[in-house]
Amino acid sequence: MVVSLHLPPGEDGRHLAARVRAAGGRPVPILVYDRGHMGETLGVQAILDLGANAYVADPTSKELLERVAKLCAARPAATGERDAAGAEAEPEQVVAQGELATGRVAELVHAAWARRLTGILLLVEGAVERRIHFLEGAPIGHSASSRAYSLVRWLVDHAVIDDSQYQAVIDTMARDGLSQAAALVATGVVDAGEPLYDLLRAHAREAIRNAFQARHGRWRMVESRSRALEVPALELPPLVLIREGARHAFPLRFFREALGTKLGDYPRRSARFRPLVNEIRLDGPEMAFALKLDGRVRARDLATGSGSRMRDALILLWFLDLVGALEWSEDPVGADEGPYRSIAGSRKKKALPPETAQSLREEVGEALRGSYFRALGVEIDAGEEAVESAYQEKATRFHPDTWVEYELGELEPLMLQALEKVSAARRILLHAEKRRAYLEHVLSRHAASSRRSALDVDAEVEVRRGERAMKEKDWATAVAAFTRAVSLNPREPEYYCMLAFATFEHGTGPAKERAKQPRKLLKKAAALAPDLDQPHVILGILEHACGNPKAARRHLLTALRKNPDSITAKAALRRVNEVDEES
């Protein structure tokens, strides 16, 4: 552990800290104390670039010893030593190292994924060290020695937090010794759980994408579980990050030079393409281009034939080649050949079983006719994971290569259209602003006609969540969702009706006690819309449950005067009359 540093002439702390860590074969904790009496806030800001493990404002206080003891207790045992449980401490292993160059980071991220690396990829440019953390080959986070890449600085740069909130986070870090993520939650700037992890994922994804620009300096790939888990483990798609990073960082010339003489050859999808479909996550236009790679057209002609999308075509050719999803031939394949001939050979393709063909036809029709939510089969309140999972399932289902052994006939072009539709759905629904605009459009067509007040998208999402909970008889969730809907749009009478019914069902005790609050809600609904039948229908059901058949009948007849076609009111009235006759 380094506790105190006297800097040589011309040396700054950031550079020396990077050298200290690089010189050891394992993590070196660095504790910094405030020799210049800067104060906690300024002190923490001053040492952010060092990536120090701890900061002590007053080295003469017992806090110094406490921090040293804490770091010693947390530090992994040296190679060959045993930890408290008696297990051999994990050694670090440098897998490979070398010089950085344009395109090298993309190759290294792919290599880490291919070897299922658990550890880190270090990129050192000058005095700045950046680290991409991997767990079983998947990138799980990013860290760096410079504050320019820190999470808190990123949030300010992206206008997620303002300068006063930034200062509050820095103060909390200084006072309580918290990490940036913990300090964001502690100060109330970001909610714990998914909101925090969404920001962590977005920051890590952008930081890794920007790391692809590194082209001067050195790199080192290290196997070490403890180093991998120095950051919160996030779920990031490795192969998608390669494509995103390359598109963001590399010029057109790079892709041309990387493909080189292959541009004159004939590319076709290899046997690895199909198993990689879920990993590479191509959108509609990309998948349509990939399906053209059948070994009959030169790569150069495919790219130039893409017109304004030539750069995208070259990127995709380079990317599919990198991940092993392409085979190349100097000559075009024969008319009876194509991708997967090693699987399907020259045998005649089988006919789709009639029930499978019918099922596919119905699913394709459902996807093409419906909204983006319907195309993916998700609710309007579905989260990112649900959308991504649904997309992967649909994309695999509609991908012609899934049915390589069968003759698809007229179904194939329809499946490609459906594939493009679900790809567009994923693209829109995973983008917050585009999703909101799309949802407003959908709800304005379907929900607005039944609403008495101006449409509120967030309230409608809560209503859908509440309605689904009611079907599952999850009354607590339904009450919470409808309560949020009412608070978001207090002028909509139907929200009060739904909340009233869910509140009654969720309550405990005698029916008369459970009905008190719902009655108030229903009176509010009736006041907002005197011509609405729904409050009286629910009041009739409540009065019947409370043993008041006369009051129940009165409310249900009132509902039928307002809406003679109300099926619910008629059914409830029939039930009241049957019980009255039995008694």
DSSP state letters, 540-555: HHHHHHTT-HHHHHHH
Model pLDDT for residues 458-478, shown as the tens digit of each residue = 888 898 889 888 988 999 999
The span from the CA of 486 to the CA of 521, in Å, is 10
Span 172-191, pLDDT tens digits: 888 877 788 888 888 888 88
- Confidence at residue 79, expressed as pLDDT on a 0 to 100 scale: 36
Q: What does the pLDDT read at residue 24?
A: 52
Average pLDDT score over residue span 561-578: 87
pLDDT over 90 percentage in the chain = 32
Give pLDDT, residue 539. 93
Position 344 scores a pLDDT of: 42
pLDDT of residue 395: 85
Average pLDDT over residues 123-145: 92
The structure tokens 């995208």 sit at 312
Question: Which distant-in-sequence residues (6+ apart) come within 8 Å of 462 by Cβ?
Answer: 381, 481, 482, 484, 485, 488
Q: 524: Cβ–Cβ under 8 A, 6 or more apart, which residues?
A: 493, 496
> 53-94: per-residue pLDDT in tens?
666 666 666 667 776 776 665 554 433 333 333 444 456 789
Most confident of 168-172, 216-220, 284-288, 526-530: 216-220
Q: Please give the pLDDT value at position 14.
A: 52
Residue 36 has pLDDT above 60, yes or no: no
Q: What is the pLDDT of residue 262?
A: 93
Q: Name the percent of the chain lying above pLDDT 70.
A: 80
The mean pLDDT value for 8-37 works out to 57
The pLDDT, as a whole number, for residue 263 is 93
Please give the Cα distance from 89 to 82 (Å, whole number).
Answer: 6
Rounded Cα gap, residues 463 and 381, in angstroms = 10
At CA 432, angle to CA 428 and CA 437, rounded to 5? 70
What is the distance between the alpha carbons of residues 385 and 400, in angstroms, rounded to a whole number?
A: 25
Residue 34 has pLDDT above 80, yes or no: no
**Is 60 exceeded by the pLDDT of residue 540?**
yes
- Please tell me what DSSP assigns to residue 8: P
> Which of 51-60, 213-222, 424-433, 546-555 has the least mean pLDDT?
51-60
For residue 209, pLDDT beyond 50: yes
What is the model's pLDDT at position 321?
A: 95
Q: Are 148 and 48 in contact (CB under 8 A)?
A: no
Residue 450 has pLDDT above 70, yes or no: no
Q: Check whether 218 has a pLDDT greater than 80.
A: yes
Average pLDDT over residues 417-445: 84
Question: What's the confidence (pLDDT) of residue 88?
Answer: 46
pLDDT beyond 90 at 130: yes
Phi and psi (nearest 5°) for 392? Answer: -60, -40
pLDDT beyond 60 at 21: no
- Residue 221: per-residue pLDDT: 95
Q: What is the pLDDT of residue 72?
A: 67
Q: What pLDDT, on a 0 to 100 scale, did the predictor assign at position 517?
A: 93
Task: Residue count of the chain, please give it.
Answer: 583
Residue 255 has pLDDT above 50, yes or no: yes
Would you give the distance in Å from CA 412 to the centre of its chain? 31
Res 238 pLDDT > 70: yes
Q: Is 144 helix (H, G, I), strand (E, B) or coil?
A: strand
Phi, psi torsion values for 236, nearest 5 degrees: -125, 135
Residue 348 predicted with pLDDT over 90: no
Token duo for residue 562: 């307002």
pLDDT band with cut points at 50, 70 and 90 for residue 433: confident
Residue 183: its pLDDT value, please?
Answer: 87
pTM above 0.85, yes or no: no
Poorest-pLDDT segment among 335-339, 492-496, 535-539, 552-556: 335-339
Residue with tokens 């011309």: 10
- Give residue 478's pLDDT: 92
Question: What mean pLDDT, rounded, does the chain reach?
Answer: 82
Q: What is the pLDDT of residue 317?
A: 95
Tell me the C-alpha distance between 300 and 47, whole Å. Answer: 52
Cα separation, 163 vs 284, whole angstroms: 41
**Max avg pLDDT among 18-22, 174-178, 270-274:** 270-274
Indicate whether 276 pLDDT > 80. Answer: yes
Q: What is the band of 578 on the pLDDT scale with cuts at 50, 70, 90?
A: confident
* 206 class by beta-carbon count within 10 Å (0-12 exposed, 13-18 middle, 19+ buried): middle
Decide if 53 contacts 29 (C-beta within 8 A): yes
**281 vs 155, residue with greater confidence:** 155
pLDDT of residue 1: 53
Q: Which domains does the chain show, CATH number per domain? A: 13-74 (no CATH), 93-236 (no CATH), 251-344 (no CATH), 350-437 (1.10.287.110), 456-582 (1.25.40.10)
